[in-house]
Amino acid sequence: MALYSREFIEGIRPRQWQKNGLLLAGLVFAGRFRNPESVAVLLADVTRVIVAVLAFCLFSSATYLLNDITDRESDKSHPDKCERPIASGRLPVSSAFAGACTLAAVGAALAVYVSLRSGSYGFLLMSLFYLLLTVSYSFWFKHWVIVDVLVLSAGFVLRVAAGCMSLPVEISPWLILCTLFLALFMGLCKRRHEILLLGENSVSTRKVLPHYTAQLLDQMIAAVTALTIMAYSLYTFNADHTVFLGRESPWVMLTIPFVMYGVFRYLYLVYRKDLGGTPEDVFTDRPMLINLLLWGLIVVYLSVKAPG
CB atoms inside a 10 Å sphere around CB 251: 21
How far is it, in rounded angstroms, from Cα 274 to Cα 193?
Answer: 7
Higher pLDDT, 113 or 28: 113
pLDDT digits (tens, 9 = 90+) for 102-160: 999 999 999 999 999 988 889 999 999 999 999 999 889 988 999 999 999 999 999 99
User: Is the pTM of the predicted complex or chain greater than 0.75?
Assistant: yes
Q: In whole angstroms, how far apart are CA 165 and each of 87, 120, 127, 239?
A: 37, 8, 10, 19
How far is it, in rounded angstroms, from Cα 233 to Cα 225?
Answer: 13
pLDDT digits (tens, 9 = 90+) for 188-201: 998 998 888 777 66
